[in-house]
A and B are shown apart, each in its own frame.
Chain A
Amino acid sequence: GIQVEQSPPDLILQEGANSTLRCNFSDSVNNLQWFHQNPWGQLINLFYIPSGTKQNGRLSATTVATERYSLLYISSSQTTDSGVYFCAVENYGQNFVFGPGTRLSVLP
């Protein structure tokens, strides 16, 4: 089945810094989502982005489907951005497969 890798596994930032999270996948996909898991466990949708670029406030994402990767950019990070960020991909009718996540800690 499709493999999903995320990097870095852990990231510590000072408040106000910018960061880039990466998601690599091993096969072509028709769906890709980025999620933020809050401390209570809920997965919050950030982006549904099988291709192209999207922006939502301080967050933006780019997926280059032909090169099998997606990037999540966080600018001017805040302590509330802390948590685990997951990339999940779907391979044409199969189930969504999640990466191992990037654990982000934003220090005040």
Chain B
Amino acid sequence: ETGVTQSPTHLIKTRGQQVTLRCSSQSGHNTVSWYQQALGQGPQFIFQYYREEENGRGNFPPRFSGLQFPNYSSELNVNALELDDSALYLCASSPWSGTGELFFGEGSRLTVL
């Protein structure tokens, strides 16, 4: 059984640029959630995708957007990067929307200079 995989693992961007992070869900899972974890804090919910549609969103501005594809993989896009966007971005998949156990990938560490 393949677990959740994320890419890239590390990346450096400059303020104002755009970034795309990718996530492949665990086999058999159709729901993907994205979390942002700033240094020294717990993960914060960004949004969730179920059947290719956004199914819940946390307190993040519209420049954070996402997609889910028919194979349940997902992308997180962040436009107009700010210094405070520097964080570990975690993707989790679960077997169904709203009630499933979360399984996390290794994360993508973004540094904005």
Contacts and interface: CB of A to CB of B under 8 A. Distances in A.
Interface of A: 30-31, 33, 35, 40-43, 45, 48, 86, 88, 90, 93-101
A31 B99 contact: yes
Given A45-B101, A45-B103, 20 more contacts: A30-B99, A31-B99, A33-B101, A33-B102, A40-B106, A41-B90, A41-B106, A42-B104, A45-B102, A88-B43, A90-B99, A93-B98, A93-B99, A94-B98, A95-B45, A96-B45, A97-B45, A99-B42, A100-B42, A101-B42
Interface of B is mostly: strand
Interface of A is mostly: strand
Query: Which 5 A-B pairs rank lowest in CB-CB distance, beginning with the nearest?
Result: A98-B42, A43-B104, A95-B45, A48-B101, A93-B98
Given A95-B33, A95-B58, A96-B33, A42 B105 contact: yes
28 contacts: A30-B99, A31-B99, A31-B101, A33-B101, A33-B102, A35-B104, A40-B106, A41-B37, A41-B88, A41-B107, A41-B109, A42-B104, A42-B105, A42-B107, A45-B101, A45-B104, A48-B101, A86-B42, A88-B43, A88-B102, A94-B98, A95-B33, A95-B45, A95-B48, A98-B42, A98-B43, A100-B41, A101-B42
* Contact size range, B: 20 to 34
B90 to A, nearest CB: 7
